Amino acid sequence: MAASGFGALEGVRVVDFTQMLAGPYCTQLLADQGAEVIKVEPAEGEETRIAGPFRPEDELRAFGGYFASVNRNKRSIGLNLKDPNARELALRLVETADVVVENYRAGVMERLGLSYETLRERNPKLVYAAIRGFGDPRTGKSPYAEWPAYDVVAQAMGGLMQINGPDRATPLKVGPGVGDLYPATLCAFGITAALLRAARTGQGQFVDVSMVDAVLALCERTVHQNSFQDLIPHPEGNRHPLLSPFGLFKAKDGFVTLAAHFDAWWAKLCGLIGRPDLVTDPRTATAEARVTHRDYVYDQLELYTSVHTKKELAAVLGGKIPFGPVNNVAEIVADPHFAAREMVVHVDHPGVERQMAIAGIPVKMSETPGRIVRRAPLVGEHTDEILREIGMADARIAELRAKSAIG
């Protein structure tokens, strides 16, 4: 049965037709807050189950870290949607749902007989959400609507790469899949907003998030820079184009970040590192001067930071000005902040005796905090259970399995 009593979305049923990263991350955000998420997969399972990484001792290889990280708190039903019997089961399942989420290319759900219009006829209150590279024609047809897209495409076309890189001539992809994860987060927001309206009016709606649009929204600064300053922003390395100091600095054993662009913080920083002369130096005395002479500012600060370790710098600067060391994942796992915030959690993993670590729940709520109550599912692990819940007899379930309609 679905977990209950811990999330603001308790009682919301989500039928999840998603795959890869963007869609599953979106539905996991909902599941973490108590929604019952039913993951619809082909009998052989979603493709990312084989993506790894796998523990060396895992001989089962039911799924790897990629799948485990974005599919917790869900149940899985195996449906061969090319089979009319399975499609009818999907329709019956949607009749019981509050939300459907999918991230296929435009037209796929229509070809399966599961379009928004078809599902809305069965369930007028349904919130139907889609995440696509260039959006859905229903809300504005892009000339690229048929193009396939992944994170790297969204980062490039949405403008993130134009401002990220070591120098103005070298665009650079951001490491995490923000071209998937940020659209997923916006989609979860859109779904909850649509659910609120559906509760008031009884009417669902179509929620459409374009990955490229989402990345542009993430890079909102570039639009106003172009409009207000007639600029084409370019990569700034590890510095801010409008604020100084605001960026990355060498330490004896790595790197740290700090921001002291306001005059008050600048004066405090100069005092902490024993450089009161920088408070009155015309090149560094004002915020505007510090931007104009940013190379000098960074050079002077690195005279101090580069001869101290990250730990030593934290002891001097931490809590006094905006400051943080550049952490690797081993340092993150050992950091008491992430322990106190339960941001590294451990879950069971089929085929591995010990529990495995995944990132925790980032949204903290006082009354409905959400929690992780189940690991990512095996493919079709809950097929029979879910079908019984919608009134299917065991004999019929066995018949459908024999016909390979379900897995």
Catalytically active residues, by annotation: 180
Q: Find out whether 374 and 73 touch, Cβ atoms under 8 Å.
A: yes
Burial 231-251 (b: 16+ CB within 10 A, else e): eebbbbeebbbebbbbbbbeb
Count of CB atoms within 10 A of residue 330's CB?
8
29-to-1, 54, 234, 260 alpha-carbon distances in Å = 19, 24, 33, 34
**Which residue type occupies 257?**
T
The string of DSSP letters for 233-245 reads ----TTB-SS-SS
- Separation CA 141–CA 136 (nearest Å): 6
Look at residue 190 and give its three-state secondary structure.
helix
Burial 90-111 (b: 16+ CB within 10 A, else e): bbebbeebbbbbbbbebeebee
The string of DSSP letters for 302-313 reads HHHHTTS-HHHH
